Amino acid sequence: MAKVLPEISPELADWLGRQHIFFVATAPRADTGHVNCSPKGGDAFRVLGPLAVAYQDLTGSGAETIAHVRENGRVVLMFCAFEGPPKIVRLHGRGEVVTEGHRDFAGLAAVFPSHPGTRAFIRVDVTRVSDSCGYSVPLFDPRGHRDLLDKWAATKGPDGLCDYRAQKNARSLDGLPVLPL
């Protein structure tokens, strides 16, 4: 049975940090807008406090999460145990996009690994922590992390990444603005 927790305990923070993948879901305000769910992996997640988390957002072909969070702030992060005892944890909250130039960008960058494709950090003020059984989530053995995005971003270089973001990340699927260019 699912239960709501008052905060992210140290034990839960440890469990969250050991997960190899998590999912981020957002939606625009418009009823006709597209709901988005994105997988995230690698060492891209940090618990900042009992009700505060952040993840490193890397350059990709879309930027729906950034557009939705900028528009309305609503976000949920979901973690599933793919090894060990079954468990699902959801962190609902209000997100903030922290891009280069934001007063907190350097501080967040200092607690994450350096990636040439870092586009932003999504910081979340968690308003609801819940867990559920995860009995039907299959077991998987992680084989490792892919380094393709880092290699791709390194070949683009800073100027190439700016150009790419201007072409591919200016607007969401629904036409919402994404990043200041």
User: Which residue from 29, 105, 74, 69 is spatially nearest to 178, judged by alpha carbons?
Assistant: 69
Query: Taking the mean position of all CA atoms in its chain, how far away is CA 49?
Result: 16
Q: Which two tokens stand for residue 147?
A: 């380094």
AA letter at 21: I
The domains located in the chain, with CATH, are 3-137+145-168 (2.30.110.10)
Each of the 181 residues of the chain gets a pLDDT tens digit; together they read 689 999 999 999 999 999 999 999 999 999 999 999 999 998 999 999 999 999 999 999 899 999 999 999 999 999 999 999 999 999 999 999 999 999 999 999 999 999 999 999 999 999 999 999 999 999 999 898 899 999 999 999 999 999 999 999 999 999 999 976 4
Residue 57 near residue 119 (C-beta atoms within 8 A): yes
* DSSP helix/strand/coil, 37: strand
pTM of the model: 0.94
130 in the Ramachandran plot: left (φ > 0), alpha (ψ -120 to 50) or beta? beta
